[in-house]
Chains A and B, each alone.
Chain A
Amino acid sequence: MKPRAITGLGVLSALGAERGEVFARIRENVPLRSRTRPASQTLGEAYAAAGAYEIPDFSPQKYLGEKGLRLLDRLTRVLICTARLALADAGIKQSGAFLRLAPEDVGLVCSNAFGSLEAINDLHRTATLEDTRYINPAKFPNTVSNTACGYVSIWEELRALNVTVSDGTPGALDAAFIADMHMSLGRAKALLVGGGEVMSEALWVAWNKLGMDPLAVPLAEGAALAVMEPLEAARGRGAPVLGILAGYGSAFEAPTRRLLHPSPTAMERAIRSALDDARVAPGEVDLVVSGVTGISMFDDAELSAIGAAVGDAPVAASKRLLGETLGGAGAMSTAAALAWMAETCPLPLVRGRAPERISTVLVTELGPYGSASALVLKAAT
């Protein structure tokens, strides 16, 4: 990929809302599991008491006003708010008006893994317990995976391309690559890039049924969208650059009979490809922000691949602080990497010691079915 400037960041997470608060909470370096699990805003009565790591006191009205929210599902609300924060942070939009660029110059490439689950489950409930004839047609569009992203463009008046990516945990890293491709072809001058996932009862139940909760970092909500612009354009106008997207790699290794297949081979190839793309030698990597979660089957594969590709570079586990956000994971890790590079907010390390100054970060995500992606970030110089 071409070097791309990150000129703004919107983030909502279980640690809080907005970049300043999230970065401050990252600096506290407290594992999410050690923090109180608040009563849930999204789970039904049967589970609410168990609590869930949602965006605390999430109030879309704070960002979007009162009108037009009723039929938007939670992911849609979270993504619109995140986009609004990112656009303001980059100085593209403020109070609903474009300060620079035009609507047709700005688009979105966003990952989510289970974005429409809440709506589908809701309509299935009506169809099963009552009748399909009684489903709410106004909620029907939310069953379509890309609707949440479509609403972002509607609310923010973004008329360049809008792409939803659904690749599981690597998806938000893939979004950066897809955005770079489209930008290279002149389809946008600025792109919101990242991903998000929200809590829903169906997702929470599935996570627990898989026995993940006691083993892994907790399931959490989160969305992060970075504003990506051509580096020369950002520098040309003297924009503050939070970091530079410098390289990407992705790979797949076919599993055998088993569907679940965390592949160290794919992870290692993705890392090597990302480093080649960024023209970064393995020894130049100051930090790896990994996707490790505490599940040995996945962590062993990811860590062995990281070791094989970049030797003894220190490895951080951002999900210990931010939780597992699935389709948003790569974006949350990228935000955490920016927090360290730009504002010295250290992350918990699972291997090695970090140097004083972090200039080059490798972000990794291992998918459950044999895919893996990696992204190289550089500090703005």
Chain B
Amino acid sequence: MSAEERLAISRLINRIGFGPRPGEFEESLSIGFTQAAEQYLSVAALDFSGLASSLGISDLGMQPRPNTPEIVTYAEQKRFQLRKMTLWWLDQMVGEENPLLERMTWFWHGHWATSYSKVDEPFVMFNHVNTLRKYALGNFREMARSMVLDGALIYWLDGQRNTAAAPNENLSRELMELFILGVNRYTEDDVKQTAKALTGYKVVKNSGVVTRNLRQSYTGSISFLGTAGSFDALSLTDYLVSRPDCSRFIAERLWYRFISSSYELPANSSIEAAFASRELRPAIAAMVRDPSFIDPKNTQVKSPLEWLVAVLRASNILPSQYERPDYLINLLNSLGQRPYFPPNVGGWPADESWLSAASTQTRISAAQVLIKRADLSPISQVSSVARIEALSNWLGIASWSERTKQALTGAVRDPERLAILAICSPEFLVNA
């Protein structure tokens, strides 16, 4: 097996997926990168429309008055539902054999970065992410149209306070800067003009239902980005998505998260070309097939969630079945990446930002805790001499450095100690 092939498979499984489940790396090596990539990319689109009710995530109604018996139940329900939807999502990431859909949902959650910290309604937040799941591999125009009328997103960006009499430009700015076009691809005047198209939308906080109050809406003509006319949220979104800057921007965001935050997307990228129709599956396929995807210089640091999910997949620990599921949520929180809680509308940082002595300490202590419940048979069942290689397949690592090999060699008799070292190693934290 060539070193290039190992690197390519490692990139595929760690970046498009969430790291290998036991045996997956070896299987992919045996069928080769091209076929393994096809398997990932052909993941089925599923219908998740009834998901909220089957998980018991529901509209809890208006918040009861303080100091009433009802508020206690209400607060408990809220906590319960938030915990439930968090563990369910982690279970999906860890348990799915082909996690591409969840991987892309996770990407879009960081793109349309909306946080529960302000939305404060499990049902509305769950539906927001579930809408992203629906379109994660589908059509970006449809996704953008759903987002601009999404209760969680509007509430998060004060869209419900944007009226014709008192415009609030928060949503219109971010729509262009962070969601559809990219920074500096519009003027300040465009922000003011497009804000008018987004006036009058109202959100029912607990249900996320969005309506438009025409009395508070601006319905006159606006002039922006080389066009003029009467626009509402949907026609504005359609126009922005049709701009050439949109394909450049979405290609840049895919590049940044899946290929490199250190180097820029080259001009005339195959990703951009494949996104011409605004379909996402071809754009993702083009990215995986682009030579840059397996270029050795494009290394990436695993974010805390990616690191934890990869550990749990290899260890065969399903989050909701773990003895202390809350430990996992708290761990993500202390590492700075709890699902449903992006730090700001720009989403989570990347690469070097996740490297600090403090987070290293947290990862080392988590490794010691988690490994006690890990299925280590892929390591313990092979002879000591074969264990270092078995570890690299177990975690989907292309190759060990001499440094790490030496550290592991001292521990070959003890599978638990080996596993702790491997998941704390620089080669696991950084996907070569």
Physical interaction between A and B: no
Residues of A within 8 A of B (CB): none
